[in-house]
């Protein structure tokens, strides 16, 4: 198996199960966040982040364009954006679903643009870890993992809300 096949296989399952979890939400859920602890994203903030957590980051690695799309509502200077209350939110569940599909298409385009040789041979560092060089394929695979982590976060949000979800939902079965 090569980088392209590996990344596409991981993406297929990740996006499929993320779409399934989105189907369990309504727009009235967007403002919910866990009641205990601190610095939690709301469901809406999590959906926005999930909906651009893979393909748009891959685009950054493949093209060098790390400016977030304007429609996401992030400020151009994202320094200090980590506190959850500063993060923008999805406008609706339907918007998040559409944007997640857009993210999936961007990810597939990035894999095609990079090509198998580029994924295997192009070495670079992530902007957030300039000392750690990795091949492009590994970075792209990590962005699929990034999406899957936020998908799992959404799964646990649903569980905390008392919704009927189980491991099969998490894995898209």
- Please provide the DSSP assignment of 39-68 as one string: SPPPHHHHHHHHTTSSHHHHHHHHH---PP
134-148 pLDDT per residue, tens? 999 999 999 999 999
- CATH 1.20.120.450 correct for 3-31+39-67+85-170: yes
Question: pTM above 0.85?
Answer: yes
The model's pLDDT over 60-72, given as tens digits with 9 standing for 90+, comes to 999 998 888 778 7
Please say if the pLDDT value at position 86 is more than 90: no
Question: CA-to-CA distance for 13 and 173, rounded, in angstroms?
Answer: 9
Residue 24 DSSP one-character state: T
Mean pLDDT score across all residues of the chain:
90
Alpha carbons 18 and 154: distance in angstroms, whole number: 8
pLDDT in tens, 143-167: 999 999 999 999 999 999 998 898 8
pLDDT band at 128 (very low <50, low <70, confident <90, very high): confident
| Contact call for residues 94 and 47 (beta carbons, < 8 A) | no
């Amino acid at each position: 198996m090569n980088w392209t096949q590996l990344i596409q296989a991981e993406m297929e399952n990740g996006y499929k199960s993320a779409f399934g979890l989105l189907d369990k939400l309504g727009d009235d859920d967007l403002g919910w966040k866990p009641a205990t602890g601190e610095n939690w994203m709301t469901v809406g903030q999590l959906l926005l982040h999930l909906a651009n957590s893979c393909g748009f980051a891959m685009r950054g690695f493949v093209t060098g364009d790390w400016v977030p799309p304007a429609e996401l509502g992030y400020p151009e200077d994202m320094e200090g954006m980590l506190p959850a209350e500063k993060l923008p939110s999805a406008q609706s569940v339907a918007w998040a679903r559409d944007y997640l599909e857009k993210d999936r298409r961007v990810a597939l385009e990035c894999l095609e643009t990079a090509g198998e040789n580029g994924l295997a041979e192009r070495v670079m560092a992530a902007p957030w870890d300039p000392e750690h060089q990795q091949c492009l394929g590994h970075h792209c695979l990590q962005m699929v993992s990034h999406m899957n982590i936020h998908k799992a976060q959404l799964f646990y949000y649903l569980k905390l809300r008392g919704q009927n979800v189980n491991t099969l939902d998490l894995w898209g079965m």
